[in-house]
Amino acid sequence: MNSHPNHIVIIMDGNGRWSKKRLMPRSVGHLMGASNLRTVVKSCVQKKVKHLTVFAFSTENWRRPPEEVATLFDLFVRYLKTEIAELQEQGIRLRVIGDQSAFTPELQEQINLSQRLTAQGTVMDLTVAINYGGRWDILQATRAWQNAHPYESLEQLTPEGLEPYLCTHPLPEPDLLIRTGGESRLSNFLIWQCAYTELYFSEVLWPEFDDHELQTAIDWYAQRVRRFGKTDEQIKGSLALKRDSKASVVSAQASHPSNSASSTNVNNANNANNANNATNSNTTRPLFLK
């Protein structure tokens, strides 16, 4: 069983269908979807999720009507401009992955600025994939590896050697992938990184995917057994060893409380002696030698 996902990725699907059900333009659905991202980000922070990656625009989405593509990019720019202050306040680091060569210079500059302003965030990593495709990522990573190793053959390339060149580096591999909107496919998203990710498909359209739905997905994940190629018996054995080891440590501490107390006293005494020595040293050394 899994305690908690460290890295969640979400394919935010269903904005257009949400609008269609309400006889509204698709642009309204995308606007609601962008607003809902703010809600889900806050929920992930509250749930102590360390990494959140969302799929905003795929390399295949260029096939959509030009006006819809323009709307999506306009929303992305507005999100960068309006959400940065709050991301900074909450300690969230923003990263944008994907092929940015197709973006206007203004958009590229806004992306770089947003990433710089949030670079010190340590509460959570928010990664937005825009103009991203899994096949493109593997291809560009392979080319980058070859450029970095011009005198080596591709036969020398290993999975471990390729990973530093993927867009998602140095993020950990995803634990849980959530796709909203009722579809059950990856759609070329993080196909290398999600080799062992638990896949959760929700019927809920993205604008309606709230904190309750997110918790439902996390609870589902907690019941999964992640084998990574091992058998059930091996997994159970590893869990039993961890429990026994933890129980032994607790039992030893309970049986010898005086040892813990004496150890604490010794540490306190050492700290006091170190402090006195430091004080005496400071009174004899010139200031510039401190």
Residue 264 burial by Cβ neighbours in a 10 Å radius (0-12, 13-18, 19+): exposed
CB-CB contact of 72 with 61 (8 Å): yes
Residue 88 burial by Cβ neighbours in a 10 Å radius (0-12, 13-18, 19+): middle
Beta bridge partners of 198: 176
Residue partners of 287: CB distance under 8 A and separation at least 6: none
DSSP string, 139-175: HHHHHHHHHH-TTS-GGG--HHHHGGGSTTTTSPPPS
CB-CB contact of 141 with 165 (8 Å): yes
Which position among 13, 125, 137, 175 bears the catalytic label? 13
Which position among 61, 99, 188, 211 bears the catalytic label? 61
What is the C-alpha to C-alpha distance for residues 32 and 17, in angstroms, rounded to an integer? Answer: 12
Annotated active-site residue 13? The verdict is yes
- Asked whether the CA dihedral 177, 183, 184, 188 is positive or negative, the reply is negative
Residue 180 burial by Cβ neighbours in a 10 Å radius (0-12, 13-18, 19+): buried
Q: Which amino acid is at 86?
A: E
Residue partners of 139: CB distance under 8 A and separation at least 6: none
What is the set of active-site residues?
A: 13, 61
